[in-house]
Amino acid sequence: MPLAHPVRSAVLSLAGALLLTTTGCGGGPAAPTSKDAGGPAKGFPLTLADNCGQRVTVDRPPKRAVALDQGAAEIMLSLGLADRMVGTATWTDPVLKGLEKENAKVPRLADRYPSFEKVLDAEPDFAAASFTYTLGKGGVAPRERFEKLGVPTYLSPTDCVGKDNSGDGDGVRTAPLTMETVYGEIRDLARVFAVPERGEKLVAELKSRVVRATAAGDFGGVTVLYWFANAESPYMAGCCGAPGIVTNALGAKNVFDDTHAEWPQINWESVADRDPDVLVIGDLTRRSQSAESAAKKIEFLESDPVTRNMTAVRKKRYVLLSGQAMNPTLRTVEGVEKVAAALRSYGLAK
């Protein structure tokens, strides 16, 4: 997602770092799986042969996990794993409704990227992230730094499968993202924590919600634009990320489906030329860029001479989504539901 990348703190010396082992450290409740006293958990060590190009081996279900992005945190919380989490970070929105009590049990290491030192202070035995940047240079720390200290890392496949992150910006999709990749992440994390049945239950619930949302109308021919953040150089969704999942599920058309960049910055004259029927607007609570909240975005749209005469602005056809619903997470399903409901309310269903 478009973020203003923070300046990193000085690199931590390995000689002064807290040494961790692959079996974890500290207390915390035991994983809900059978094991011999003091022996390995059933089905462990567990190896994920290819997680974004890396082989990940977890010796036993984590007891002290950290989720370094909100998407990873909400998956863990939805799987009922709060009692095995020791930290979360990098939030764009309030936690998903229904998870407030569980989330309150887990320390927040930082609203944005925590320092590597701060993460190590939590004594983690596993770290998960939603974005390549988080586990790269400039984010929290490269995966190799965690692994040198015996901390396995997991990176969401939604940010690497069918995606090229080698350039500047938020990457380029070489193939359209689908919900199956999100479901794969849920299943992976459920396996890592030895709760596969919870993962299957969560996936089934999400699939059912998508079916209900898409059965309520045909939106073929409706044009949509997705605006995540920034008023001066706005980040608009390209064809094939999480907004593409929403658009394709509903049969609508993203007016910038001719670009494969995840979140290209597009000038307002080009936006006005495309003149979408509906504007899907990110309603963020973070404070890193201009026009983060939906209220600020709408204020800009209705006052700027380039945008105020657009069809969607004149007719006030706005759909407000959390940042997480516009990112490839389990909340992308929320995006499908809310956009479908709004298009129906605007009389755009066939």
The pLDDT value recorded for residue 100 is: 98
For the segment 113-120, the average pLDDT, to the nearest whole number, is: 97
Question: What does the pLDDT look like over 152-190, one tens digit per residue?
Answer: 999 999 999 999 999 888 999 999 999 999 999 999 999
pLDDT-based confidence at residue 211 (cuts at 50, 70, 90)? very high
Distances in Å between the Cα of 67 and the Cα atoms of 116, 122, 133, 241, 290 are 13, 12, 14, 22, 26
| DSSP 8-state assignment for residue 265 | B
Question: What does the pLDDT look like over 212-265, one tens digit per residue?
Answer: 999 978 899 999 999 999 999 999 999 999 999 999 999 999 999 999 999 999
**Measured distance CA(119)–CA(106) in Å, rounded:** 13
Asked whether 210 and 201 are in contact (CB, 8 A), the reply is no
Question: What does the pLDDT look like over 57-87, one tens digit per residue?
Answer: 999 999 999 999 999 999 999 999 999 999 9
Q: In residues, how long is the chain? A: 350
Question: What does the pLDDT look like over 3-56, one tens digit per residue?
Answer: 433 333 333 333 333 333 333 333 333 333 333 334 567 899 999 999 999 999
Domain range annotation of the chain: 18-207, 217-345
**Measured distance CA(86)–CA(71) in Å, rounded:** 16
CATH number of 18-207: 3.40.50.1980
**Is the whole-model pTM more than 0.85?**
yes
- Please state, rounded to an integer, the average pLDDT across all residues of the chain: 89
pLDDT at 292 over 80: yes
The pLDDT value recorded for residue 2 is: 56
H-only helix segments in 109-236: 116-121, 143-148, 179-192, 196-214
pLDDT at 113 over 80: yes
Question: What does the pLDDT look like over 325-350, one tens digit per residue?
Answer: 999 999 999 999 999 999 999 999 98
Do 217-345 and 18-207 have the same topology in CATH? yes
* 188 CB-near residues (< 8 Å, 6+ apart): 48, 51, 154, 157
Superfamily of structural domain 217-345: Nitrogenase molybdenum iron protein domain (3.40.50.1980)
